[in-house]
Amino acid sequence: MPELVSIITPIYNSEKFIESAIKSVQDQTYPYWEMILIDDGSTDGSINLVRTFLDNDERIQLISLQENQGPAMARNEGIKMARGRYIAFLDSDDLWLPVKLDKQLKFMNINNSPLSFSAYQKIDENGNIIGQVSIKKTKISYTDLLKTNHIGCLTAMIDTKLLGEKMYMPFVKKRHDHGLWLSIVNKGYTAFGINEVLAQYRCRKNSISHDKINILHHQWKLYREIERLSFIRSMYYMLSYAWYGFIKWIA
């Protein structure tokens, strides 16, 4: 029997984009999935839109948190509820190409890795393609991930059977996805990347990842408080992270 993929999608005031995100999952050529939508205290019409899907597709389910707790907590609630061997992540404003699950599952079986990722396009708020993030390094180690986050969350897929357990994101406001990838590869695994566009990341001016300077502060906390690196090692990887970020910015 084909393996189930659990798709984790946090929602917070996503009325403008959530329908497109859900439909991009429904359009997958691989049909064996469950989509777990976690409402993180939305105050707009997001949840009313989600409810229009619930009665027509039993693979879609909704979890409502009592109050806004941030994307790390929302994703962890989704991971906790996940029934699938595989866990994938899709934010409420991003999109998947129809072959995403199909191609990535085959790729993971070939490489026997508990963590994989892919290239993706960047789109604006109207869906226009404005760039692409390609995979320049297809095998990622713990040291590689300390230097920069090679893995776009919307492309990541985890095999819990190979890991032998579910693993969760650290409870930090930002960089929690990076923290999860680090905790996986730090167990001795290699993350494998497929250099093919399988998703589309929506660039929004008011998104949590838009403030690049503020992100550096959270990256430092990731090194020091989550990974518990020494001050010197943290400085080294912080400089590396800033350099990679500059290269991406001018590319």
CB 51 within 8 A of CB 62: yes
Q: Is residue 220 in some structural domain?
A: no
Please state the domain count of the chain. Answer: 1
Q: 248 lies in a domain?
A: no
Mean pLDDT in residue range 110-125 = 95
Does residue 173 lie in a domain region? Answer: yes
CATH code of residue 13: 3.90.550.10
| Nearest residue to 120 via CA among 112, 130, 110, 111 | 130
Is 229 within the bounds of a domain? no
The tens digit of pLDDT for each residue in 143-159 reads 999 999 999 999 999 99
Cα(199)–Cα(110) distance, rounded to whole angstroms? 21
Quick: pLDDT tens for 52-97. 999 899 999 999 998 888 889 999 999 999 999 999 999 999 999 9
Q: What is the mean pLDDT of residues 185-191?
A: 96
Give the model's pLDDT for residue 215.
84
218 vs 181: CA distance, rounded Å:
16
- pLDDT of res. 117: 98
Domain, as residue range, for 59: 5-204
What pTM was computed for the model?
A: 0.93
Establish if 144 belongs to a structural domain: yes
Q: What kind and span of H or E run contains 153? A: none
Token couple for 110: 């070939």
Residue 55 lies in a domain: yes
Q: Is residue 224 part of a domain?
A: no
Q: Is the pLDDT of residue 167 over 80?
A: yes
* 243 part of a folded domain: no
Partners of 224 in beta bridges = none
**Once rounded to an integer, what is the mean pLDDT over residues 11-29?**
96
Q: What is the mean predicted confidence (pLDDT) over 9-35?
A: 97
Decide if pLDDT at 251 tops 60. Answer: no
Residue with tokens 């604006």: 124
